Amino acid sequence: MTRTAISPRLATRTFSSGLTFAVAATGVLSLRLACVVRESRAPRRGRAGDHGHTAPHGRHRREPGLRDYRSSDDDNGRWVGFPFREGDIVISTRSKSGTTWMQMICALLVLGTPDLPAPLTTISPWVDHRVEPVADVLARLEAQRHRRFVKTHTPLDGLPLDPRATYVVVARSPLDMAVSLYHQGANIDRRRLRELTGEPEPTTPGPPRPDLHAWLVAWTERETTPQESLDSLVGVLHHVTDAWRRREAGEVDVLLVHYADLLADLEGEMRRVAAALGITVVEDRWPALVEAATFASMRARSADLTPDTLGVLRSKEAFFRRGGSGAGREVLSADELARYDARVRALAPPEVVAWLDR
């Protein structure tokens, strides 16, 4: 694969070879993408957002060879038939792992200015999210004339892998991701979310919410699968390990970015991302672009940058809560950390563990 230098507004490349948001038993928000086994479950009725590229009962078609990740408000079947263009950027992350941060970085690099022409989620939509008709999402992307960058929380084994695209996978220490996920649980308007996805109101109140320590211990020990809960420890490690292996095999253009590296050297990481994407930025523009990507600047612009145009979040400012590293290890005891570390080593290759859990 060879890349050509491009302007910040247009990218071309030449290749040498042709949430779901659910309240679990603990009462805390989790993003659960459930795999649907067709033979074992009755068809669901179509719900809000089941528009375009659908099969009977509002189901989206499956592409052969892709793993199914589906929930009441998130469906990777919406990627079926996605009209890729040369240079498309697919940002694939777990929840609370730097998704919006990378979307903003890509916006700054592609557009070449901190002054975005529309809210970030409008420019860079979440393709899998069923709260908006997929036909509307695709129409908006079709109208874009700059290089496109889209968001997904689906691992690469659930996405069509197109040689014209670059897949940017951002990851974070699983414990830090989990702490952020716990705190975001209090910021979700679940009634509004159920309204958008067509889910029924609960008939009985849920259990009381556990404190952070109890919830985090349970999160580290939970036995599940990626299809049942992508935001579990098992799901996080699967997402990163799958991307790592595909990058090493060279089967698709994958760029791995660590949240901690963005915190430690934002400008250096932005320059690395630009180089990987083949984007040339005029040197005197870098200071303004880097400043616009700082956590403080993004929090100040939360109204335009928070991924919530439909009122699911109670507070857009609270979405940008802390932006740090190490919070998870501060919560657990030495014995609990030892059990966590042992489980991580059992679930992922050593090179992935060494890179990820820092």
Query: Looking at 129, 153, 238, 258, which residue is catalytic?
Result: 153
| Cβ proximity of 259 and 175 under 8 Å | no
For residue 230, list its beta bridge partners. none
To the query of whether residue 153 is one of the catalytic residues in this protein, the response is yes
Pairing, β 89-93 against β 166-171: parallel
**Cα 266–267–272 angle (5° rounding)?**
95
Q: Is 307 helix (H, G, I), strand (E, B) or coil?
A: coil
For residue 166, list its beta bridge partners. 89
- Closest by CA position to 187, among listed 316, 322, 32: 316
Phi, then psi, of 132 in degrees rounded to 5: -125, 135
Q: Which residues contact 20 (CB under 8 A, 6 or more apart)?
A: 31, 32, 33, 34, 71, 72, 73, 74
- Closest by CA position to 90, among listed 297, 255, 245: 255
Residues known to be catalytic: 153
